[in-house]
Amino acid sequence: MKADYEEHDAILIACCMMQIKAMFDTDEGLNFIQQYYINQGLKKFGDDGKDAVDEELRQMLLRDCFTPEFVKDMTASERKKARSTMMLLAEKQFEKTIKGRLVYRGN
């Protein structure tokens, strides 16, 4: 499939591509953030890691993403429908703060 662009569309796309390239074109090359599963992250980051986990979970609860329930209080069909998640911890590169991320395990 061939896409036809007007000249102003092509210029806009080229500018966006150049801005993205400039963000990653550093002396150090590309930088990737190392993420840790919660157990590893808590060992590495200690109390800062615990604070990051608390902050992420508090944010999820305040936004009504889910309602925590005890597994023992759930019916079999509710347990079957439940989605498992995992908590990841990472150190933000420039701010040197710890960030928790709660992600869905879609495996």
Q: d(Cα 90, Cα 18) in Å, to the nearest integer?
A: 28
C-alpha to C-alpha distances, 16 to 5, 7, 27, nearest whole angstrom? 15, 14, 21
Q: Bigger pLDDT: 28 or 68?
A: 68
Q: Bigger pLDDT: 62 or 31?
A: 62
Q: What is the rounded average pLDDT of the residues 56-71?
A: 88
C-alpha to C-alpha distances, 27 to 11, 38, 47, 73, nearest whole angstrom? 27, 32, 33, 55
* Residue 90, beta-bridge partner list: 35, 99
Mean per-residue pLDDT of the chain: 85
Which of 46-50, 58-62, 93-97 has the weakest average pLDDT?
Answer: 93-97
Q: What is the rounded average pLDDT of the residues 84-107?
A: 85
Nearest CA-CA partner of 85 in 60, 61, 67, 103:
103
pLDDT of residue 28: 60
Q: pLDDT band for 67, please (50, 70, 90 cuts).
A: confident
Q: Bigger pLDDT: 98 or 10?
A: 98
Question: pLDDT for 5-53, tens place per residue?
Answer: 788 888 888 888 888 777 766 666 666 788 999 999 999 999 999 999 9
pLDDT of residue 105: 78
